[in-house]
Chains A and B, each alone.
Chain A
Amino acid sequence: MKNDTLVSFEGVVKRFGDFVAVKRMDFEIGKGEFLAIMGSSGCGKTTTLRMLAGLEAPSEGVIRLSGKPINDLPTWSRDTPMVWQSLALFPFLNVVENVEFALKMRAVGKAERRRRAEQWLDRMQISEFAGRNISQLSGGQRQRVALARSLVVEPEILLLDEPLSALDAALKVRMQSVLKNLQRETGITFVYVTHSQSEAFSMADRVVIMSRGQIEQIGTPQEIYRTPRTRFVADFLGSSNVFTGTVTASDGGGVMLDTPAGPLRLTSGERLAAAPGRSATLTVLDTRTNLALTAPGGPVNAIPVRMIGEEFIGATATIYLETGTGQEIRVQKSHEELAGIPLEIGQELFAWWAHADGHLVTEE
């Protein structure tokens, strides 16, 4: 899927006066890829997208599009159409005129641009609204107009800045599949900025997680979910239990950590370079954390815990527990997996996971 690179950021920095919005970005976007840039507000994700669109100029570094540096290219000379959070549809034009706009700017003939605009309206299933004013459309219909307006020129890349944030939950899920299918069918590279984990992880081929102007991790949704690389990512995703402690032993067989919750061991084959005496953080997915009445034997870590709460969402339950030192631990399991375990507030249990399920993350 990512045979060649379409966009590359090389040491890109963006400052607004004294404020550094983007510290240093080095990454590539493949042709035909659906890339999500994710992070909390103010992390620099929108600034990154705006630099790619040509709406902000980088303070340092080079941005390349198809190999050519585009730093000095104004936005109207790049083919990097963007879908705004507010959609930015022109209220003084009707639906079909909005879609035709970019073609008109490219001096496409009247009949031809009407034909191409109508094709896209048809594709977005909004043909019947062609003559309507923007103010007469629903949120989902406007979304489709905005997509058609940007895609009518059949660009190589489409930039999306939290386009779904104004929609209600059900419509959001529907538009997600519309977007994903559209991207798959057209093969256009999508760069999608969002703060929503569910949007990023359900649509993207790769996810970039940003924090305070820097990239924390790039990878497929699965990679990031299973092995968060930094403490920030683990906390941000909120799907792992996190333990910080001191390395007491590190050898070919694994790493021993001394944490407030007790000594923990991990044996997964990656990043075992932790030297004894250094501080390190271990993460384990809440779905990989198990519960038992007695501490199981074998190559596992087991921590005595006390149950403090539970939450049911559909077929899965999230059990909240507390260690002796007051650290919260979450366990996410199906109801079947929890059968036979007494789930009452205050119940003493053991939280355990296999040595191989733990991961070391980089400390900040």
Chain B
Amino acid sequence: MRRPLTLYGLTFSLPLLIWQLLFFVFPLVFLVALSFWTVKNFRMQPDFDTVNWVTIYGRSVFWQAYGTTLAMAAFASALVSILAFPCAYAIAFKLSDNARRWAVFLMVIPFFTSYLVRVYSWQIFLSDAGIINVMLGWIGLGPYGLLNTVGATMIGYLTLTFPLVVLLQLFSLVFIDRTLIEAAHNLRCGRLRTVFEVIVPSARVGLVIAALFAFILCFGDFVSPIYLGGGDPTTLSILITDTTKSGQQWPRAAVIALTMIGTLLVVAFAAVRFAYKGRTK
């Protein structure tokens, strides 16, 4: 049902609309335009040249970084989904109402501290002279090179996404109709099998959305790959900063950023389609 615009309605919606125009649509349009600009003598000038697209898409280092970032974000979102599920399941089905409220509160606490600070504190754990290696030293092991590895980057990604994924999964699990679980048990579906036959399909939308959020956060993350992964392998976020630093190549950085936005749109679209597959209103 369409309703005519009123001054009253506009009073509330206009500020948000202007904000979106100013800080989202306009920069995005500018980014597209920027990707066709050219750089001469370290100075950008407005232009309409596809040279940046051709250069970036012609470089193997870009495609390597693209593949790495895609794979690492996909792996991280799968890993965090699998690790978070037992946690969300236990909170949803095994705890009393009171304990569940406490668990939700505990899952919110990590957000009190900045992500950057949490990543720095991982450095204290993982560095060569860090807490873990010192403790391993007591039993005659190590030191191991834990920092500046893909594993360390993954730890950072989990730090970023784990509480959020648990909360998102939890909210879809608590709304599952309990009689469906009883009905499955009653039809000879055992406890573990019910998880896969009934609970996961019932919560599918929430689980997919949670994984999607994890993917989006990891795909664009700069903090973990640089401070825990040591910038190696290079992710797209690192490639962007490198590109801007080397010779003022903002237009080329814009090409990378737009490719990332495009990828996220495609992934988000596919994920939502998959989540709602087979559902009709």
List residues of chain A with CB under 8 Å of any chain B CB. Answer: 53-55, 74-77, 80-82, 84, 86, 88, 90-93, 101-102, 105-106, 133, 135-136, 149-150, 153
Residue of B nearest to A80 (CB): B186
Residues of B within 8 A of A90 (CB): 180, 183-184, 198, 201
Residue of A nearest to B200 (CB): A92
* 0 or 1 for each of B174-190: is its CB under 8 Å from A? (1 = yes): 00010110111111111
In the complex the two chains form, is A81's CB within 8 Å of B202's CB?
Answer: no
Given contacts A92-B278, A105-B193, whether A82 and B188 have CB atoms under 8 Å apart is no
Residues of B within 8 A of A93 (CB): 201
Residue of A nearest to B281 (CB): A135
B100 close to chain A: CB less than 8 A: no
A-B CB contact pairs (8 Å), 5 listed: A90-B201, A91-B202, A93-B201, A102-B187, A105-B189
Q: How far is the CB of B202 from chain A (nearest CB, A)?
A: 6
In the complex the two chains form, is B188's CB within 8 Å of A92's CB?
Answer: no
In the complex the two chains form, is B204's CB within 8 Å of A92's CB?
Answer: yes
Contact of A84 among B183, B190, B193, B279 (CB under 8 A): B183
Tell me, in angstroms, the Cα distance from A102 to B201 when the chains sit together. 17
Given contacts A102-B188, A105-B188, whether A86 and B280 have CB atoms under 8 Å apart is no
Q: How far is the CB of A173 from chain B (nearest CB, A)?
A: 26
Tell me, in angstroms, the Cα distance from A81 to B186 when the chains sit together. 6
Q: Which 9 interchain pairs have the tightest Cβ spacing? A: A88-B183, A92-B201, A102-B187, A105-B188, A88-B179, A75-B185, A105-B189, A76-B188, A76-B185
In the complex the two chains form, is A81's CB within 8 Å of B187's CB?
Answer: yes
Q: How far is the CB of A227 from chain B (nearest CB, A)?
A: 37
In the complex the two chains form, is A105's CB within 8 Å of B187's CB?
Answer: yes
Residue from the set A90, A93, A136 with the largest chain B CB neighbour count within 10 Å: A90
Residues of A within 8 A of B280 (CB): 133, 135-136
Residue from the set B186, B202, B204, B278 with the largest chain A CB neighbour count within 10 Å: B186
In the complex the two chains form, is B188's CB within 8 Å of A106's CB?
Answer: yes
Residues of A within 8 A of B183 (CB): 82, 84, 88, 90
Q: How far is the CB of A147 from chain B (nearest CB, A)?
A: 13
In the complex the two chains form, is B182's CB within 8 Å of A76's CB?
Answer: no
Q: How far is the CB of B241 from chain A (nearest CB, A)?
A: 44
In the complex the two chains form, is A82's CB within 8 Å of B204's CB?
Answer: no
Tell me, in angstroms, the Cα distance from A90 to B278 when the chains sit together. 13
Residues of A within 8 A of B186 (CB): 53-55, 75-76, 80-82
Residues of B within 8 A of A106 (CB): 188
Residues of A within 8 A of B179 (CB): 84, 86, 88
Given contacts A76-B185, A101-B197, 12 further A-B contacts (CB under 8 A): A53-B186, A55-B182, A75-B182, A81-B186, A88-B177, A88-B180, A92-B201, A93-B201, A101-B184, A101-B189, A133-B278, A135-B281
Tell me, in angstroms, the Cα distance from A13 to B258 when the chains sit together. 68
Tell me, in angstroms, the Cα distance from A16 to B190 when the chains sit together. 25
In the complex the two chains form, is B177's CB within 8 Å of A76's CB?
Answer: no
Residues of B within 8 A of A74 (CB): 185
Residues of B within 8 A of A84 (CB): 179, 182-183
Residues of A within 8 A of B177 (CB): 86, 88
Given contacts A105-B187, A105-B188, A136-B280, whether A88 and B182 have CB atoms under 8 Å apart is yes
Q: How far is the CB of A134 from chain B (nearest CB, A)?
A: 10
Residue from the set B177, B182, B279 with the largest chain A CB neighbour count within 10 Å: B182
Residues of B within 8 A of A88 (CB): 177, 179-180, 182-183
Residues of B within 8 A of A101 (CB): 184, 187, 189, 197
Residue of A nearest to B193 (CB): A105
Q: How far is the CB of B88 from chain A (nearest CB, A)?
A: 18
Residues of B within 8 A of A86 (CB): 177, 179
CB under 8 Å from chain A, chain B span 75-114: none
Residue of B nearest to A50 (CB): B182
Tell me, in angstroms, the Cα distance from A92 to B280 when the chains sit together. 10
Tell me, in angstroms, the Cα distance from A312 to B191 when the chains sit together. 55
Tell me, in angstroms, the Cα distance from A153 to B189 when the chains sit together. 13
Q: How far is the CB of B60 from chain A (nearest CB, A)?
A: 44
Residue of B nearest to A55 (CB): B182
Residue of A nearest to B183 (CB): A88
In the complex the two chains form, is A76's CB within 8 Å of B202's CB?
Answer: no
CB under 8 Å from chain A, chain B span 233-281: 278-281
Residues of A within 8 A of B188 (CB): 76-77, 102, 105-106, 153
Residues of B within 8 A of A80 (CB): 186
In the complex the two chains form, is B189's CB within 8 Å of A76's CB?
Answer: yes
Q: How far is the CB of A26 from chain B (nearest CB, A)?
A: 25
Residue of A nearest to B202 (CB): A92
Tell me, in angstroms, the Cα distance from A153 to B188 when the chains sit together. 11
In the complex the two chains form, is A76's CB within 8 Å of B190's CB?
Answer: yes
Residue of A nearest to B188 (CB): A105
Q: How far is the CB of A268 from chain B (nearest CB, A)?
A: 45
Q: How far is the CB of A94 from chain B (nearest CB, A)?
A: 8
Residue of A nearest to B198 (CB): A90
Residues of B within 8 A of A136 (CB): 280
Residue of B nearest to A77 (CB): B188
Q: How far is the CB of A167 from chain B (nearest CB, A)?
A: 18
